């Protein structure tokens, strides 16, 4: 009942020309409408227009941004508003990625404001949570993820929860080649869903998609996607290559 979402987070990679090349090389099979599967890429802001222009007409690949500001407009040098994302037609926005938490000082309160703003603008937030290695080693990963989830989603209604996507991204698995085992991913996803059920009710918790992120690639996607609470992937490195991205969509389609 929850469709699988394969979402590429391109981070600070792929300028407009590379973005156009990506779409030119992407398999038609990855762009067609597949029942039960959504595919999306999130290029840097400057490449969003190129992505919309290069995407073949009729392509089902959705396009998202990697961040947004929580104010409507004004003196916020370097920032981008939800109305700007709306003007382009962005479907998604990644919020609270661990790199934004670590390098740009974003905390749960800021992420919460952004989530609310994105929801009000009709852009689907992909809200990232996840523990660092030390927290897992100290067996604090459940507490950390619980706090991040509660803080990022504070004040949302059950109906709003249904409109968001959560990405569990253990920070020790991001860009490291190390992946959470399918069992580790399932354990945390089930925990997040249980916490959401306690806060927002069973129905909303059963509706929300929880993606796994952290070195997901064609070689490990199948076993991760087979887990009952893993509803897709937020994919960094492997999403930059059209052939890997196409394979990931095909693996999702085969579930």
Residue positions annotated with a catalytic role: 97, 169
Instruction: Count the helices and strands in the chain (H runs, E runs).
Output: 13, 8
| Residue 35 burial (10 A CB sphere; 0-12, 13-18, 19+) | exposed
Looking at beta carbons only, is 174 or 224 nearer to ligand PEP?
Answer: 174
Take residue 32 and report the two structure tokens written for it.
């067609």
Looking at beta carbons only, is 215 or 227 nearer to ligand PEP?
Answer: 215
- Strand-pair partners of 39: 6
Smallest distance, Å, CB 127 to ligand PEP?
12
Smallest distance, Å, CB 130 to ligand PEP?
9
Smallest distance, Å, CB 170 to ligand PEP?
9
Q: Which residue has the tokens 């609470």?
A: 229
Give the interface with ligand PEP as residue ranges (CB under 6 A).
9, 169, 174-175, 213-216, 234-238
Residues 6 or more apart in contact with residue 61 via CB below 8 angstroms: 23, 26, 30, 31, 39, 40, 41, 55
Q: Which residue has the tokens 């809200």?
A: 127
Looking at beta carbons only, is 192 or 204 nearer to ligand PEP?
Answer: 192
């Amino acid at each position: 009942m929850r469709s699988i979402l394969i979402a590429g987070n391109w981070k600070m990679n792929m300028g407009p020309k590379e973005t156009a090349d990506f779409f030119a090389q992407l398999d038609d099979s990855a762009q067609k409408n597949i029942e039960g599967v959504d595919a999306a890429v999130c290029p840097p802001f400057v490449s969003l227009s190129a992505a919309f222009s290069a995407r073949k007409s009729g392509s089902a690949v959705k396009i998202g941004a990697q961040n947004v500001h929580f104010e409507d407009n004004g003196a916020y040098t370097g920032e981008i508003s939800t109305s700007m994302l709306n003007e382009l037609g962005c479907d998604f926005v990644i919020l609270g990625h661990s790199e934004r938490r670590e390098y740009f000082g974003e905390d749960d309160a800021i992420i919460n404001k952004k989530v609310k703003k994105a929801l009000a603008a009709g852009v689907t937030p992909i809200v990232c949570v996840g523990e660092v290695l030390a927290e897992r080693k100290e067996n604090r990963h459940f507490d950390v993820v619980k706090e991040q989830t509660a803080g990022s989603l504070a004040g949302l209604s059950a109906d709003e929860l249904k409109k968001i996507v959560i990405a569990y991204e253990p920070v020790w698995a991001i860009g490291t080649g190390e992946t959470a085992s399918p069992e580790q991913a399932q354990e945390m996803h089930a925990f997040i869903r249980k916490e959401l059920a306690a806060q927002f009710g069973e129905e909303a918790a059963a509706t929300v998609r929880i993606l796994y992120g952290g070195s997901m690639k064609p070689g490990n996607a199948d076993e991760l996607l087979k887990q009952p609470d893993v509803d897709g992937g937020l994919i960094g490195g492997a999403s930059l290559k059209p052939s890997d991205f196409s394979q990931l969509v095909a693996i999702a389609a085969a579930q």
